[in-house]
Copies of this chain bind each other. A is one copy, B any other.
Amino acid sequence: MSATKLLVLGIVHLSGGAHGYQVRSELQSWGAESWAKIKPGSIYHALKKAAADGLLTEHAEPGNSGPERVLYRATARGRDEMVELVRDGLRRTHDPDMLNASIAMLPMLTRTDAIAQVNERVARLEAELVEQAKWREHPNRDAPEHVRDQAELWAGHARTELEWAKSLSKRLSEGAYTMADDPGSWRTVPGHLKMHS
């Protein structure tokens, strides 16, 4: 899943440099263990992988108090990649983890960009609902009855998401949240995450 990648890159970027445990704590305080199903082990792996891919840089830090640790910082490529991941996650349906991660990192985008991506999502969801309605009139005879019945549940979820996406788009248009191009954003105030250390 690239949701892990997105969240890890995002936290490092937002805090303007962080070590593994800091990323882990921040995600935990956001409740990410539950909605993104991220386990500590994956975070350290994702950090190393991102560093190997040139999206982050590694700086060894001597352990002044406590064990030694590695400081990660985002590179320009890392930031570009992350913005692209957020945009992707907003548009793509059928990937709840990526959606959740993208919402968490929403302020990485400019307001107009975010609105465009969310509207694209709305359009896709509407198209899928039409597709599903068709499928229900001409069901696949190979699938057992109860499997066909699941379609109701998915349609319900799709409708829920559609309403939510529409309301998000509206909130964004009305100026909710501090986006990348707003005063006081992470861009103008780097390291604005209050760390617990």
Give residues in A with beta carbon < 8 Å to B: 29-31, 34-35, 94, 96, 100, 103-104, 106-107, 140, 142-147, 149-150, 152-154, 156-157, 159-161, 163-164, 167-168, 171, 176-177
How many copies the complex holds: the figure is 2
The distance in angstroms between the C-alpha atoms of A176 and B107, with both chains bound, is 48
Given contacts A96-B96, A156-B164, could you give 4 more A-B pairs where the C-beta distance is less than 8 Å?
A: A29-B142, A104-B144, A107-B146, A146-B177
By Cβ-Cβ distance, the 5 closest A-B pairs, closest first, are: A156-B160, A29-B142, A153-B164, A30-B143, A160-B160
Output the nearest chain B residue to A94 by Cβ-Cβ distance: B34
The distance in angstroms between the C-alpha atoms of A119 and B149, with both chains bound, is 18
Contacts of A143 in B (CB 8 A): 29-31
Output the nearest chain B residue to A30 by Cβ-Cβ distance: B143
Q: How far is the CB of A74 from chain B (nearest CB, A)?
A: 18
Does A152 contact B164, Cβ atoms closer than 8 Å? yes
Contacts of A106 in B (CB 8 A): 146
